Amino acid sequence: MTSRVEQALSAAQNDRHNAFTRILVDEARRDAATSKTGRLAGVPFAVKDLFDIAGLPTTAGARMRLDATPAKADATVITRLKAEGAVLIGTTNMDEYAYGFATVNAHFGTTLNPHAPDRLAGGSSGGSAAAVAAGVVPLALGSDTNGSIRVPASLCGVWGMRPAMDDMPLEGVFPFVHALDTVGPFTRSLADLKLAYEVMSCRVLATTSATPRIARLTGFFARNADPDALAAVATIDAEPLDLPMAEAARSAAFLITGAQGGALHLDTLKTRAMDYDPAVRDRLIAGAMLPSATYLRAQDMAARWRAQVTEAFQTCDILIAPSTPVTAPRIDAGTIEINGQTVSARANLGILAQPLSLAGIPVISAPVRKSGLPFGLQFATAPGREALLFDYLARLEAEGVLGASVLEAA
């Protein structure tokens, strides 16, 4: 067990992708020496730098928080993983305050995609996804507000899960948007993902032999996806389903994010605005200035969207859509092309993830087994049907349709 942790520490110290912000050598060695039992005994893991770690400041990717008051205790999900024997080895890079889909950080640099270092890892949990994809750790934690787990999981070719709202404890997690925030794992296999989910949620999922009803999302999800991603979806036996409110739901998610994120940071913006990453600062200020009537309309749209998704689950069990509109774009490009339009990569890589975030349902980004740059597909289900989702994905993984792209750590 100790050697496994030492290998992870060595790989993290030789990190070539700017995935890590801190490496906890002494703490990891201490824990490895005492972590003898549990379902995760001796498994090294890393966490996005917005989870509390006892004795350390929680930076949330912000330079101004480097001297923040150290956390008094670990975040609850970290405590649960450690209780099963997992060993925390470090914190990972992120977009400042989790506001972005790129992990381009003005203070701590850009995280590079392990499969193509000239391309984005995605965000905002890009450091965690890259750490798994590079083979440094088999497990890493991220947060997902609008797609911050699913986007980097897709671009880095690993498994990632956004659990249902209120499924995970958020004690000790730096907030962004209380209506949308949740946390989840990145892993290199579906079995590892399921185990991490069970430990983090304190649940045990039963195995089911039921045959789920599968729906392939069309309309907004088809218009805004790369042809290769749509071709991958088409290989899976599924009935087409259009959710007409999806585009409006994406807009509502943006507005709710801006308003709640802006309100959270308003006092700090008044006194330390120039200490923010400029791209983050400007979006937070814009959100804080949204009229209350606009915010209320967005909340009304969110309620109607959730009702439409709930109704869809009366006739199907699992929804499928691409996780990202494209594969990983070049870092120096700054833009991507979606539906014939050139748009900002940082703001739009999550265009297909945001509507499902707003629905509050569990979603797994599953890596498609293919050559070339990796990408993922979203598989979503109704809260409480996670066991059915995992069992269905296990069949696709066994058939060779899905599978992570993980490198050997240097």
35 and 176, same domain (yes or no) = yes
Nearest-5° Cα angle at 43, 42 to 46 = 130
d(CA 287, CA 97): 14
Question: Residue 51 above 90 pLDDT?
Answer: yes
Q: Is there a domain that residue 292 lies in?
A: yes
CA of 157: how far to CAs of 50, 134, 360, in Å? 23, 10, 24
d(CA 56, CA 337): 40
The string of DSSP letters for 44-68 reads EEEEETTB--BTS---TT-GGGTTS
Structural domain that includes position 163: 2-201
Q: What is the CATH number of the domain that holds 321?
A: 3.90.1300.10
243 and 310, same domain (yes or no) = yes
Mean pLDDT of all residues in 312-317? 98
147 and 237, same domain (yes or no) = no
Q: 3-state DSSP helix/strand/coil percent for the chain, to nearest 5?
A: 40, 20, 40
Question: Residue 345 above 70 pLDDT?
Answer: yes
Question: Residue 338 above 90 pLDDT?
Answer: no
Amino acid in the structure at residue 78: I
Question: Residue 322 above 90 pLDDT?
Answer: yes
383 and 285, same domain (yes or no) = yes
d(CA 192, CA 206): 16
Q: Is there a domain that residue 408 lies in?
A: no
195 and 223, same domain (yes or no) = no
Mean pLDDT of all residues in 47-59? 99
Total domains in the fold of the chain: 2
Q: Is there a domain that residue 220 lies in?
A: yes
Quick: pLDDT tens for 111-146: 999 999 999 999 999 999 999 999 999 999 999 999
- Per-residue model confidence (pLDDT) at position 189: 98
161 and 303, same domain (yes or no) = no
d(CA 188, CA 178): 29
Question: Taking all residues of the chain, what is their mean pLDDT, rounded to a whole number?
Answer: 96
CA end-to-end span of the chain, whole Å? 19
Which residues participate in catalysis according to the annotation? 48, 124, 148
Question: Residue 339 above 90 pLDDT?
Answer: no
Nearest-5° Cα angle at 168, 198 to 69 = 120
d(CA 171, CA 349): 28
Quick: pLDDT tens for 262-274: 999 999 999 999 9
- Per-residue model confidence (pLDDT) at position 207: 87
Mean pLDDT of all residues in 319-339? 94
Least confident of 63-67, 245-249, 346-350, 383-387: 346-350
Q: In the structure, what pLDDT confidence band is assigned to residue 210 with cuts at 50, 70 and 90?
A: confident
Domain boundary pick from 160, 176, 201:
201
Whether the CB-CB separation of 362 and 167 falls below 8 Å is answered with yes
Q: Is there a domain that residue 17 lies in?
A: yes
Q: Is there a domain that residue 196 lies in?
A: yes
Domain boundary pick from 169, 201, 233:
201
Q: Is there a domain that residue 403 lies in?
A: no
Mean pLDDT of all residues in 98-107? 96
150 and 20, same domain (yes or no) = yes
Tokens standing for 77? 């999900």
Tokens standing for 215? 């729906």
Q: Is there a domain that residue 226 lies in?
A: yes
Q: What are phi and psi of 336, to 5 degrees?
A: -135, 165
Domain boundary pick from 201, 227, 245:
201
59 and 197, same domain (yes or no) = yes
- Per-residue model confidence (pLDDT) at position 194: 99
Question: Residue 27 above 80 pLDDT?
Answer: yes
177 and 219, same domain (yes or no) = no
Whether the CB-CB separation of 123 and 60 falls below 8 Å is answered with no
Quick: pLDDT tens for 174-191: 999 999 999 999 999 999
374 and 250, same domain (yes or no) = yes
Q: Is there a domain that residue 39 lies in?
A: yes
Give the distance from CA 211 to its chain's centroid.
Answer: 28
187 and 239, same domain (yes or no) = no
Quick: pLDDT tens for 66-95: 999 999 999 999 999 999 999 999 999 999
Mean pLDDT of all residues in 52-75? 98
Q: In the structure, what pLDDT confidence band is assigned to residue 1 with cuts at 50, 70 and 90?
A: low
In terms of Cα–Cα distance, which of 97, 105, 27, 110 is closest to 58? 97
CA of 93: how far to CAs of 3, 61, 261, 404, in Å? 25, 7, 20, 21
- Per-residue model confidence (pLDDT) at position 410: 65
Mean pLDDT of all residues in 24-47? 95
- Burial of residue 22 (number of CB atoms within 10 Å: 0-12, 13-18, 19+): middle
Quick: pLDDT tens for 213-260: 999 999 999 999 988 889 989 989 999 999 999 999 999 999 999 999
386 and 355, same domain (yes or no) = yes
Whether the CB-CB separation of 309 and 317 falls below 8 Å is answered with no
Quick: pLDDT tens for 286-305: 999 999 999 999 999 999 99
